[in-house]
Amino acid sequence: MSVTKSIEEINQKISNGEAVVVTAEEVSTMARSMTAAQIAERVDVVTTATFGPMCSSGAFLNFGHYSPPIRMEEIYLNDVPVSGGLAAVDTYIGATSESRFDHTYGGAHIIEELIAGNDIKLKARAKGTDCYPTKEVETTINKESVNEFYLYNPRNAYQNYGVAVNTKSHTIYTYMGTLLPNLGNATYSTSGELSPLLNDPAMRTIGIGTRIFLCGTQGYVSWYGTQFNTSKPVNEYGIPTSNAATLAVIGDAKEMSTEYLKAAYFEKYGVTMFVGIGIPIPMLDEQIAQACMISNAQIDTSVIDYSEPDKPVLTMVNYEQLHSGTIEIDGKSIKTAPLSSMKKARKIAQELKDWIDRGEFYLSTPVQQFPNHTTVQNLKQR
Amino acid sequence: MKKRYVLRFSPEVVNRPIVSDIIKAFNISVNIMNADISSGRAGMLVVELDGSEEALEHSVEYLQRHGVDCSPHVKELVFDQEKCVDCGSCTSVCFSGALVMNRESWELEYHADSCVVCGLCVEACPLRLFTITRGAAS
């Protein structure tokens, strides 16, 4: 008879210190000598993780009221423009927003520095109203002086992502890094068999409300991510072979660590942010075990030409090939390089495992599952 | 013995055959790893000199006497490795073998000896951890 477990049963085991927690890489290794049924029986939780540049990220922040009050309309933090359209003293710091004076410094740096405890220069301007008479404020803030400061990332943890190459005769600079001419290199950005949404591709256990590891603290999946697409072609293992589902995530930035959140600048592209996410997958049954057994050789992805405006797909490769350091396109051997850190992803998967082992982290049932027939539309001229 | 240097010279020196001078005078072989030279402006060469210790010393002296700044190349690229997150972006543009991902631990390995000071990693690192010192550190 096949094994089934409930999240409550798994949490009870965690509480008793009896839960068997392994990382997704460990499950992929176990899969060489064990069946799905055996793994479902043996393992209770599988930890997955990723640490990569995720542009659609940012943080909400409440400065606290000034006296006399100001309804901030134009706001800068260390000269980086942040959102001024949120009542009087709320703002949203978009990770990719760039300083007026230094395009290599932006919202991601503000978020990282605030987490580190640094002081940040605030400049705000308003028209002045009867109830908010102050027109200008210039002061210094830090994470202790503000009220709420929480990360809210609209689109993270892409389920698979294409490999970037350049077929033109000149170098191009992209969010996938420096792409050398004439297929001079290939870059990719997922943690493969360790990646969260590749271990539960149907998202049976991950949904709205799922408790996760977010940049060093406990956070939550708040919604499905923007550009959430469940209609992408899948391979024989049910893995979408290009960018598909995404997650919106939320967590208390005051509790986060700069070890797992890093501001970055991609040459001639702009500012972005490395985000560390870990997601536990409860071993509910054999089907979940089967999904977690996925290995790099079974995860295919598309090789995309970033030098063409409509980004055509040139060929397909798998993560075992990408991880080997070279792939072949049209008989040419091309050097591959990751943009997301496997080392950090492993550290996150291990840390999440440690939290669960110590009974500091419990699994959650999604409050609601994600939609399952979504597509993505393009912006059209009309 | 083999030693690598970064040679920098003024527009006046660009027009003189300094490399063949030292090859002929000191019987050494010169492997040019990287070059950025054009008439009328300053030039830069990354070279590996191969010969006896004495011959290498004489070569460097000769170059310096003729207005060429010689800097041992290992001091040229400064990498703030402590801040590295091992993402691997720099390895996409490094073809000299200086920056390599260890495919077991997925840690970035930095082999300063193999660097040819091409400078591509300076732009490729999203954390901006590489700087070329232009000999300042030497």
Q: Tens digits of per-residue pLDDT, A318-363?
A: 999 999 999 999 999 999 999 999 999 999 999 999 999 999 999 9
Contacting residues of A for B123, CB less than 8 Å apart: 173, 178, 267-268
B90 and B125: one domain? yes
A343 in B contact zone (CB under 8 Å): yes
Domain for residue B138, yes or no?
no
Cα B15 to Cα B31: distance, rounded to the nearest angstrom:
19
| Residue A84 near residue A63, CB atoms below 8 Å | no
Report the pLDDT averaged over residues B22-49. Answer: 87
The one-character DSSP state at A143 is: T
Q: What is the CATH number of the domain that holds B102?
A: 3.30.70.20
Q: How far does B122 lie from chain A, in Å, by closest CA?
A: 9
A131 is catalytic: yes
pLDDT(B138) > 50:
no
B66 and B97: one domain? no
Contacting residues of A for B105, CB less than 8 Å apart: 343
Q: Tens digits of per-residue pLDDT, A167-189?
A: 999 999 999 999 999 999 999 99
| ipTM score assigned to the predicted complex | 0.94
B56 and B87: one domain? no
B70 and B82: one domain? no
Q: What is the torsional sign of CA A49, A52, A55, A61?
A: positive
Q: Tens digits of per-residue pLDDT, A238-287?
A: 999 999 999 999 999 999 999 999 999 999 999 999 999 999 999 999 99
pLDDT in the model for residue A333:
96
Counting DSSP H helices and E strands in chain A, the numbers are: 8, 22
| Residue A280 near residue A199, CB atoms below 8 Å | no
What is the number of structural domains in chain B? 2
B99 and B69: one domain? no
pLDDT in the model for residue B38:
75
Residue A124: is it exposed, middle or buried by C-beta count within 10 angstroms (0-12/13-18/19+)? buried
Tokens of A106: 């932006």
pLDDT in the model for residue A212:
98
CB contact under 8 A, B85 and A187: no
Interface of B with A in 111-130 (CB under 8 A): 120, 123-124, 126-128
pLDDT in the model for residue B14:
76
Residue from B82, B89, B127 whose CB has the most chain A CBs within 10 Å, to mutate: B89
Strands in B41-50's sheet, in edge-to-edge order, are B29-38, B41-50, B2-9, B69-72
Label the pairing between strands A80-82 and A74-77.
Answer: antiparallel
B6 and B70: one domain? yes
Task: Outline where DSSP puts E strands in A142-256.
Answer: 149-156, 163-165, 172-174, 177-179, 186-188, 211-214, 217-224, 247-252
CB contact under 8 A, A274 and B95: no
pLDDT in the model for residue A15:
98
The whole domain housing B40 covers 2-74
B133 in A contact zone (CB under 8 Å): no
Where a domain ends, among B58, B74, B90? B74
pLDDT(A166) > 70:
yes
B11 and B39: one domain? yes
Q: Which residue has the higher pLDDT, A320 or B75?
A: A320
pLDDT in the model for residue A191:
96
pLDDT in the model for residue B74:
75
Q: How far does A267 lie from chain B, in Å, by closest CA?
A: 6
| Residue A349 near residue A198, CB atoms below 8 Å | no
CB contact under 8 A, B103 and A339: no
Q: What is the CATH number of the domain that holds B16?
A: 3.30.70.260
CB contact under 8 A, B101 and A337: yes
Report the pLDDT averaged over residues A115-124. Answer: 98
Domain for residue B24, yes or no?
yes
pLDDT in the model for residue B137:
42
Q: Tens digits of per-residue pLDDT, A45-82?
A: 999 999 999 999 999 999 999 999 999 999 999 999 99
pLDDT in the model for residue B134:
66
The one-character DSSP state at A208 is: B
B115 and B54: one domain? no
Domain for residue B90, yes or no?
yes
- When CB atoms are compared, the residue of A178, A342, A343 closest to B123 is A178
pLDDT in the model for residue B33:
87
Task: Outline where DSSP puts E strands in chain B.
Answer: 2-9, 29-38, 41-50, 69-72, 77-79, 99-101, 108-110, 130-132
Domain for residue B137, yes or no?
no
B116 and B60: one domain? no
pLDDT in the model for residue B135:
56
Interface of A with B in 289-328 (CB under 8 A): 323-325
Chain B residue with Cα closest to A50: B87
Report the pLDDT averaged over residues A208-216. Answer: 98
Cα A348 to Cα A58: distance, rounded to the nearest angstrom:
20
Across chain B, mean pLDDT equals 89
Report the pLDDT averaged over residues B27-36. Answer: 90
Contacting residues of A for B128, CB less than 8 Å apart: 104, 265
